[in-house]
Structure 1
Amino acid sequence: MLQHSVTQRKSQINIVLNHAEEKLEAADSALAEAVRKHIPLERIQKEMEQLIGLQEVKHLLKEVYAWLFVNQCRQENGLRQNSQALHMMFKGNPGTGKTTVARLLGTLFLEMNVLSKGHLIEVERADLVGEYIGHTAQKTRELVKKAKGGILFIDEAYSLARGGEKDFGKEAIDTLVKAMEDYHEDFILILAGYSEEMDNFLSLNPGLPSRFPLMIDFPDYSNDELLEIARKMISERQYRFSREAEWKLKKSFIMKRIDETGSFSNGRFVRNIIEKAIRKQAVRLLGADVIDRTSLELILPEDIPIED
């Protein structure tokens, strides 16, 4: 009786396992078919179309997809695959879309079976560097562990080299370099920061440039692109600019660039202006005799703040 029960249980387990294997094979087949139809590329291109500008970045993403796709085709045809690390360096001012593009890459690499999870862990120096010898390596390894299967995105990465040889930032860099080697099959590191500082960072660490085959520049947006971003942001909030408000907004972009002594914050600058404009409009409407849908939607020139 006991032997029969055990045999029956084994049979049930085998049925479950076979069913699970069939489901996995079907999922793999569906994924392969999706890749053959370039669905992952179409999906990321659709997402990228929502981003203003970034034409060179969009082209590079297509190149990366094409390389991954052809590598899969070579494997299916018994040819040697071209091995290439996908660690990247993003160079540019704040608000130029670096984090957004990193998230999209995570999604693409998940769909292409390059990464097992495709998630993004975003950190900065304070998250990596500890207060005593050995602490930094421990903190960095823990973050790498969390990022395995996805992307570790380090903003203002050049700050890791600011303190010189005795600074614990060097310990973080050494730990990251080791992780790039140990987990290269299911881990991608993206370093990001201002262009000039990142170039200086690379010059201080001669072994780093060769480890980042993909160097992507994120240029500042033009004034027309900033205005397009502003229209998109304001529309998502169910507002709209009057023609005069748009002119004042564009003029503020021009003046900001002239007066700017440091780096320009691009999309962040636009977002800050819009949030201030919405608050100013709200104060203006407090004294209105009539508040209707049109007045609630419309941003007027007097609502556009003059930035210092």
Structure 2
Amino acid sequence: MSREFVRRRLGRRLGCVVGMEDLKIKVEKLAVRAINNRARSKIKKQVEEPLNLLFYGPPGTGKTMFARLLAGCLYDVGILKEEKVVEIQRDNVVAQYVGESEKKMKKRIEDAAGGMMFIDEAYSLFKGKSTKDFGVDIINTLMHYLNGDSMRDTPVFVLAGYKAEMEKLLSANEGLLRRFREPWIFKPYTSQTLKQIVSKKLLKQGFHFESDLDSDIISVIDSVPSRVRSQLNAGLCGRIVDYIKDSIDERVCDPSDITELFLVKKVDICNVKEKLSVYMESVTHESLNTD
């Protein structure tokens, strides 16, 4: 399987993603390394390299979406046997009674066999070694499977969350860090990228613009305070799209007028800025606390 073939196969999925160019390169490198290592192992036994990954970044930066995309990419080039992602958080596996957490975690890992397990907000599994918390049992169970020889078709594990909190999680077990590749960093989206996401969402739903409204959309995005953007990131795009559709619904009197029903005008973008302003006034400081 040549590198050019791998690039073409991956490009079918990666090409649909707005931005994230550095992460797309990492996907290709990861796939090529895994394929080459498999070829090397047929000639001479190789030291096992983990495919398990750490995703560092704030909410709304595409970590879950990218994990699903990555699973599809790895399946396309034959690294994963199945195109599936089992997604979990702390509440899905931490139980109230001794022994139950391990059973829940084991079941989820077995469900992910041949594919990928994605643990969002993975840092929440670890509350501290001094606490009577069953999250430690989850980490110990995870360690058992991270060795790669504990079951057939061990899934690729992806742990995601804030950088500082994730580093605390990795300190919970001395062997945890070395079972993962170097972290992949998910950066907050730029205004330009957020604008592209908004446009792509609208076009996918059949809407079109009466003129070039790129600068107007960027102006709306830039009007959002940084503390709000840091929490919403790509989530802001969904809100903007909803407000644009609200404006169109308020403007169009006849639903049989298909042209107007799918036409985004400058006035709709202006209305979004007003609606966002009202929304931000209603948001409490507590709900956007980044501490």
TM-score (norm. length: structure 1): 0.78
User: In structure 2, how many angstroms separate the alpha carbons of the residues matched to 1:274 and 1:297?
Assistant: 13
Matched letter for residue 243 of structure 2: K
Counterpart of 2:200 in 1: which secondary structure? helix
Shift of 1:75: 4.0
Q: Deviations over 1:162-181 (max 9, x none)?
A: 36531111111111111212
**1:139 equivalent in alignment to 2:104:** yes
Check the 8 A contact 1:239/1:296 in 2, yes or no: yes
Shift of 1:184: 8.0
Counterpart in 1 of 2:286?
none
User: In structure 1, how many angstroms separate the alpha carbons of the residues matched to 2:257 and 2:128?
Assistant: 57
Q: Deviations over 1:124-163 (max 9, x none)?
A: 1110111111111111111011011111101011111136
Shift of 1:66: 1.8
Check the 8 A contact 2:55/2:183 in 1, yes or no: yes
Q: Deviations over 1:88-125 (max 9, x none)?
A: 11111222222222223223333444332231001111
Structure 1 window deviating more from structure 2 (85-94 vs 35-44): it is 35-44
Shift of 1:64: 0.9
Counterpart in 2 of 1:220?
188
Of 264, 271, 275 in structure 1, the residue corresponding to residue 231 of structure 2 is 264
The 5 A counterparts of 1:104-123 are 104-123=69-88
Of 88, 94, 100 in structure 2, the residue corresponding to residue 129 of structure 1 is 94
The 5 A counterparts of 1:246-285 are 246-260=214-228, 263-285=230-252
Check the 8 A contact 2:191/2:218 in 1, yes or no: yes
Tell me how many residue pairs correspond in the alignment: 271
Matched letter for residue 163 of structure 2: S
User: In structure 2, how many angstroms separate the alpha carbons of the residues matched to 1:244 and 1:62?
Assistant: 34
Counterpart in 1 of 2:25?
59
Shift of 1:277: 1.9
Matched letter for residue 45 of structure 2: R
Q: Give the direction of change, closer, same or farther, for the CA distance of 1:289–1:279 in structure 2 (3 Å limit).
A: closer
Shift of 1:243: 5.4
Shift of 1:47: 1.4
Check the 8 A contact 2:244/2:264 in 1, yes or no: no
Check the 8 A contact 2:56/2:161 in 1, yes or no: yes
Counterpart in 2 of 1:6?
none
Of 179, 202, 211 in structure 2, the residue corresponding to residue 211 of structure 1 is 179
Segments of structure 1 that go 5 or more residues without pairing to the other structure are 1-34
Counterpart in 2 of 1:187?
155
**1:238 equivalent in alignment to 2:206:** yes
Counterpart in 1 of 2:9?
43
Q: Give the direction of change, closer, same or farther, for the CA distance of 1:148–1:289 in structure 2 (3 Å limit).
A: closer
Counterpart in 2 of 1:13?
none
Check the 8 A contact 2:191/2:221 in 1, yes or no: yes
Q: Give the direction of change, closer, same or farther, for the CA distance of 1:206–1:83 in structure 2 (3 Å limit).
A: closer
Of 118, 126, 129 in structure 2, the residue corresponding to residue 153 of structure 1 is 118
The 5 A counterparts of 1:282-293 are 282-286=249-253, 291-293=257-259
Identify the structure with the greater helix proportion.
1
Q: Which has the larger radius of gyration?
A: 1
Matched letter for residue 102 of structure 1: A
Give the percent of matched residue pairs that are identical in Structure 1 and Structure 2. Answer: 25
Counterpart of 1:190 in 2: which secondary structure? strand
Q: Deviations over 1:173-209 (max 9, x none)?
A: 1111112122485321111112232233224444321
Check the 8 A contact 1:230/1:271 in 2, yes or no: yes
User: In structure 2, how many angstroms separate the alpha carbons of the residues matched to 1:217 and 1:151?
Assistant: 19
Segments of structure 2 that go 5 or more residues without pairing to the other structure are 281-291
User: In structure 2, how many angstroms separate the alpha carbons of the residues matched to 1:128 and 1:295?
Assistant: 45
Structure 1 window deviating more from structure 2 (221-230 vs 106-115): it is 106-115
